[in-house]
Structure 1
Amino acid sequence: MTAPDTPDTPDTPDTLVARFEAAARRDPSAVAVVADGERLTYGALERRADRLARRLIAAGAGPERLVGVALPHSAALVVALLAVLKSGAACLPVDPGHPPGRIAYVLGDARPAVLLAESDPTGPRSAAEQAGIRWMDPGAETEAPDADDAGPVTDGERVAPLLPGHPAYVVYTSGSTGAPKGVVVPHSAVTALFDAVGPRYRFGPEGIWSFFHSFAFDFSVWEIWGPLTSGGRTVVVPAGAPRSAGDFLDLLAAEGVTPSAFLRLAGAAEGHPPTALRLVVLGGEALDVSRLAEWYERHPEGPPLVNRYGTAETTVHVTGRPLDPARAAAGESPVGEGLPGSAVRLLGPDLSAVPDGETGELYVSGPQVARGYLGRPALTAARFVADPAGGGQRLYRTGDLARGTAGGLDFVGRADDQVRIRGFRIELGEVESVAARLRAELIRRRTAAAASATPVPEPVPVPTEGHIHR
C-alpha cells in the first residue's frame, strides 16, 4: 500500500485486533453481534473470523495490503471486517448499494488483493472480475460455522507482524477534482479515539450500540469497533430499516440500544417503546441546534447530548462538547474542544494563529490524524502539513471554519465548495465533473438563499436514471 507519510508514533501500544481478542478472552460467551435474529457470541465471532482470516492470508492478505469488503448489513459483514483485520490487512469498505460506477472506481483505484463479496454475478463481484481482482465468497465454507479451529491467528501466520501503525481501513471520500480519494487510517488512530472518549463515557460490556450507518462511512467505525473492543454489543440495523424511523425505534427498544440517527428518531419517538438512552452522540454533519429545542422540552431530565466534530482524516471524532438548552436557544453550533491527545487550532492563510473570537481554518494534530491519501502523495502533502510551531508534528488542514469562544469552538462553515449531505462530505467539483461528462445542467447551491447555474452550451436530452448512476 502506498502511504507517502510516515505515521506519527502511536501513544497506544495495541491494535483493534488485540483489543477485540482481549474482550473475547474475558467473556467468550457474551453476545457480540445481533443481526436479523442471529446472535453471535464473542467466541463464535472470533472462530468464524479466524477461519476466514486464514483463507485471506492464503490469498495474499497481510499488513500494508488491502482487502475489499462488499457485503450487506449482516452478521456476516461483521465477521468479514474482523477477519480482514485479523489477517493483518486493511479493510476497503465497498457498499454494495452504491452506484456501479463508484464501486468500479474504488476497486480500480485501490486495487485490493481480494474482494469479499456475495456470488451474485450482478453485484460487486462483477466489478472485481472486470478489474482483474480476485473475489471470494466468505460464506463458501467447507466446515461447519462453529467448528473448532486452531485458535486466534498469530503473527507467525501473517506475512508480517501486525503493528499499531499499520492501516486498519481505507475509506473513500469525495474529491474536489472529480475523483474520490482514499483516506488511510491506522489502528493507532482508532485506538487513540477510544482511549480519549471510552473512560469518560464508560465503554464496557454493558454497552449496546446500533450499527446503523453505511460501513463505507467512517462513522460506522465508532458503531462497530466501539463495542467490539470494549466487550459491548453491536446491533446490526438492516439496510432497509432506516427508511422507517418508527420500525427502527422498535428495534432499538427491543434490543436496548442507544441510537445513532438521533434527530430523525426524536421526531418519531411518540407512540413507540422507550429506548435505553444513556448517552446521545451527535456528529457527521453540522448541527442545527435549533432542532433540539423540542427534545429538551420533552426530556428535561433526559440523557446528555454531546456534539462531536471530525473528518475521515481525523478518525471519526476529534472534538466534543456537551449540549444544553441554553445553547439550543441561542442557535449556536458548538463543537467544543479537542479530545485528549489531540490538538485543534484556528489558523489564518499564513498558518498564524487567529485572535480569540475571530474565524479561522481548523487544523488538527495528534494520534488521530490519518496517514494520508492512498496513492496521492501531492494531495497528502497539500492537506497534511508540517506544524509551523515545530516539533515534527503534522497538521491536517480540514477546510472547515470555526470561531473560538470561551466554551470552545463554534462551527462556522466551509472554506471551499464542499458540502455535507446526511454526513457524507461531497465536493461540488466532483458533482460538476460528473455533470459535465453528462452535458447536463449543474445547479450549485452557494447559500441557503441563493444558487448559481451553469447551463450547457446546447440543448441535450435529459439524462436517464441509468446514465446518472453510471
Structure 2
Amino acid sequence: MKPYLWDPWASARTDPDRVAVIADSEESTYGDLTRRADALARGLRARGFPDGATVSTDIPTGPAFFALALAALRHGFGLFPIDRELLGLPAGSSLLASVATVAHISAEPWADGPALPCPVLTDTELTATAAGPSASPTPAGRLVFATSGTTGLPQAVARARPRRPYQGVAVVERYGAGAGRGPHLMANPTYHLGTLGPALYALQAGSTVVVQRSWSSGAFTELADRHRADSVMLSPDRLTDLVEAGTAPQRRFRVVFHGGTACPPAVKRAAIDLFGPVLHEYYGTSNGVITEITTAEWLARPGSVGRPLPGIRIEITRDDWPVPAGETGDIGIRLRVADRDQNDGVLRTGDVGHVDDEGYLFVLGRAESPRQIRTARLEHDIRLLPGVTDAAVLDGADDATVCFVEHGGTSAFRDPGPAIEATADLLELPCPRVVLAASGALPRTPSGKLRRADLTVLARSAPDGSR
C-alpha cells in the first residue's frame, strides 16, 4: 500500500468520537484531544512565547501529555519531555537551560518542585488563557530528548525543526498503524525517543494509543487482548520478561517494535517463537531512527539492526578513515536533509560496529579507544552465549574488567566463566571478573537500558558469581 499523509486533526474531522488515548482511567477522543492541543497552543501564544520557543514538561504519558505534544508539533513550538526525577538532579536545570526552555508545563502546581531556570505553569492554566483564533500555519515544531545517561550525565538533544508546516505522518503499512487498525500498546511509558516515537507515530496515523503505566507480563497480555491491540513497543527487558513468562496475547500482533538497546539473539529467537514473525527492530539515537530490520531479514542475519532508512547514510571509520565492509569502526551517520540543521555533518553515535557487503549494520556497543572496542566485542560475544539475557562489560582504569551477566536460569544456561575467559584472552584483555545476576536484577533506566554508572558502583562490592 502506498504511504499517505495523515494527522490527528484529520482523524477528528472524520471520526471525532474515536478514542485517541487511554491511560488507566483517563481517556480522550480525537475530537477532545485536538481541541485541547489547539487551546494549549493559544495559551502559549497568549503568554507571549515566540514562534519556535521550547517548553519542557513532566506531565505523565497519557491524554494531557499527547495533547501538549501535538500542540507543539502543529503550532511551531519545541517540546522537551523530561522526568521529574531528572529535574531534581543538579543536571536538570542545566538541561533546560541548554535548550533555552522558556517555560515548564506540569500537571500540578509546582510548590514542592525543584528550582528551575524558567517559569512553571500547569496545562490547565494554559488552556484558561487560550483566547483568540488558532495561529496561522508556521514551520512545524520539534521534540527535544534527553539522552539516557547510562554512562554519564544526560545531554539534551534538540531535533532539527522542519522547514514546513506540520503535515502529520506518512502512514506506512509495515508499521501496523492507522484509522483502520487496532490500538498501539505503549508498554514503556517513558519519554525516551525509542519508546515515545512509535506511540506518537501511531497516534498521528489514526490509531488509539493504550498506555500501560504499571508493568507486569500478566497485565500486558490482558490489556492487549481487551483492546485488541495491533502493535506494541517493547524494550528488550520487557521482551525478556514476556519470554520467560511464556505468555502472549491470544490475538496476534501485527507488529512488535523493539529497540533502544541490544537484544540478545537467544531472547529475540524466543520472542519470535512466542509472537510470530512480526518483530520489527530499529536502531537510532536521540536525533532519530537510523536503521530498521524485519524478522525475515534478521533471521537471515542474526544480530544485525538492519539497513539505513531512505536518505540516511552510515559511515564506518577508524581514525576518521573509512574501513571496508566487515571491519569494525566508529559508527557515524548523515541524517536526511529534512532532519538536520544546515551545519550538521557526520553525527558520531559513540557506538562501534560494522556493515556487511549488503549494507546491514551490526552494532557491538559503545567505545572510544582500541581497548574499548575489544571490550565491546567481549560484551557482544557474551550476549551470544546460551541462556544469557543481557550483559555489560566494564573496563576499569585499574585494568580490571568486570562482566555483568544476566540470565534466565533455564537449563540452557551454563557457567559462562570459561567461555568469557577464553574470549578475553583472544582479545588480549586481562582475565575478567564475572558477576552473575537474574534477568531484570541489574539497575536500568526507565527505557530499559542497563545503567552503567550504577554498575560501576556495584562492581566495587559485588562478589564473583553473585546472583
- Give the TM-score, by structure 1 length: 0.68
Contact 1:24/1:43, CA 8 A, preserved across alignment? yes
Q: 2:202 aligns with which of 217, 227, 232?
A: 227
Task: Report Cα offsets for 1:424-459 as digits up to 9, x if no partner.
Answer: xx9x99x99xxxxxxxx9x9857866369xxxxxxx
- Give the direction of change, closer, same or farther, for the CA distance of 1:134–1:277 in structure 2 (3 Å limit): same
The equivalences for 1:3-152 within 5 A come to: 19-98=7-86, 100-101=88-89, 102-121=91-110, 123-124=112-113, 126-128=114-116, 131=117, 133-140=118-125
- Give the direction of change, closer, same or farther, for the CA distance of 1:64–1:325 in structure 2 (3 Å limit): closer
Q: Which amino acid aligns with 1:409?
A: L
- What displacement does 1:368 show? 7.2
**Structure 2 partner of 1:412:** 364
Q: 1:400 aligns with which of 351, 375, 387?
A: 351
- Aligned to 1:169, the other structure's residue is in SS state strand
**Structure 2 partner of 1:8:** none
1:182 equivalent to 2:156? Answer yes
- What displacement does 1:46 show? 0.8
Question: What are structure 1's unaligned runs of at least 5 residues?
Answer: 1-11, 156-160, 373-379, 385-393, 421-425, 433-440, 453-461, 463-470
**Structure 2 partner of 1:259:** 232
**Structure 1 partner of 2:186:** 211
Contact 1:68/1:116, CA 8 A, preserved across alignment? yes
The structure whose RCO (Cα within 8 Å, separation 6+) is larger is 1
**Structure 2 partner of 1:343:** 313
Contact 1:56/1:84, CA 8 A, preserved across alignment? no
Partner Cα distance (2:120, 2:158) in 1: 22
Partner Cα distance (1:220, 1:137) in 2: 25
**Structure 2 partner of 1:465:** none
- Give the direction of change, closer, same or farther, for the CA distance of 1:78–1:134 in structure 2 (3 Å limit): same
- Give the TM-score, by structure 2 length: 0.68
Partner Cα distance (2:335, 2:355) in 1: 19
Contact 1:278/1:303, CA 8 A, preserved across alignment? no
- Aligned to 1:341, the other structure's residue is in SS state coil
**Structure 2 partner of 1:423:** none
Partner Cα distance (2:86, 2:217) in 1: 22
Partner Cα distance (1:320, 1:138) in 2: 36
- What displacement does 1:66 show? 0.8
Partner Cα distance (1:193, 1:366) in 2: 20
Task: Report Cα offsets for 1:228-278 as digits up to 9, x if no partner.
Answer: 22111111222xx12x22223322222222332251353265466525411
Task: Report Cα offsets for 1:92-135 as digits up to 9, x if no partner.
Answer: 112124461143343344342111113354654x423xx3x211
- What displacement does 1:284 show? 0.4
Contact 1:218/1:312, CA 8 A, preserved across alignment? yes
Q: 1:172 aligns with which of 126, 132, 146?
A: 146
- Aligned to 1:204, the other structure's residue is in SS state coil
Partner Cα distance (1:338, 1:93) in 2: 27
Q: Which amino acid aligns with 2:102?
A: A
Contact 2:106/2:121, CA 8 A, preserved across alignment? yes
- Give the direction of change, closer, same or farther, for the CA distance of 1:96–1:259 in structure 2 (3 Å limit): same
Partner Cα distance (1:217, 1:59) in 2: 28
Contact 2:81/2:191, CA 8 A, preserved across alignment? yes
Q: Which amino acid aligns with 1:252?
A: A
Partner Cα distance (2:173, 2:162) in 1: 17
Q: Which amino acid aligns with 1:278?
A: R
- What displacement does 1:68 show? 0.9
**Structure 2 partner of 1:248:** 220
**Structure 1 partner of 2:425:** none
**Structure 2 partner of 1:367:** 336
- What displacement does 1:367 show? 1.8
Partner Cα distance (2:328, 2:127) in 1: 60
Contact 2:99/2:158, CA 8 A, preserved across alignment? no
Contact 1:296/1:325, CA 8 A, preserved across alignment? no
- Give the direction of change, closer, same or farther, for the CA distance of 1:451–1:411 in structure 2 (3 Å limit): same
- What displacement does 1:168 show? 0.5
- What displacement does 1:212 show? 3.4
Partner Cα distance (1:180, 1:278) in 2: 34
- Aligned to 1:259, the other structure's residue is in SS state strand
- Aligned to 1:334, the other structure's residue is in SS state coil
Contact 2:42/2:132, CA 8 A, preserved across alignment? no
Task: Report Cα offsets for 1:342-376 as digits up to 9, x if no partner.
Answer: 22232232333x2122222222223278547xxxx
Partner Cα distance (1:142, 1:335) in 2: 43
Contact 1:401/1:411, CA 8 A, preserved across alignment? yes
Q: Which amino acid aligns with 1:309?
A: Y
Q: Which amino acid aligns with 2:334?
A: S
Aligned length: 380
Partner Cα distance (1:13, 1:327) in 2: 30
Deviates more, 1:276-285 or 1:218-227: 218-227
Partner Cα distance (2:268, 2:282) in 1: 15
| Aligned CA-pair RMSD | 4.3
- Aligned to 2:221, the other structure's residue is in SS state helix
- Give the direction of change, closer, same or farther, for the CA distance of 1:245–1:311 in structure 2 (3 Å limit): same
- What displacement does 1:60 show? 2.8
Question: What are structure 2's unaligned runs of at least 5 residues?
Answer: 380-391, 406-419, 421-431, 435-459, 461-467
- Give the direction of change, closer, same or farther, for the CA distance of 1:369–1:215 in structure 2 (3 Å limit): farther
**Structure 2 partner of 1:236:** 211
Q: 1:321 aligns with which of 286, 289, 293?
A: 293
- Give the direction of change, closer, same or farther, for the CA distance of 1:236–1:189 in structure 2 (3 Å limit): farther
- What displacement does 1:401 show? 1.8
- Give the direction of change, closer, same or farther, for the CA distance of 1:76–1:177 in structure 2 (3 Å limit): closer
Partner Cα distance (2:66, 2:76) in 1: 16
Q: Which amino acid aligns with 2:227?
A: E
Contact 2:8/2:168, CA 8 A, preserved across alignment? no
Contact 2:82/2:146, CA 8 A, preserved across alignment? no
- Aligned to 1:229, the other structure's residue is in SS state helix
Contact 1:289/1:327, CA 8 A, preserved across alignment? no
- Aligned to 2:292, the other structure's residue is in SS state strand
Contact 2:350/2:366, CA 8 A, preserved across alignment? yes
- What displacement does 1:149 show? 8.5
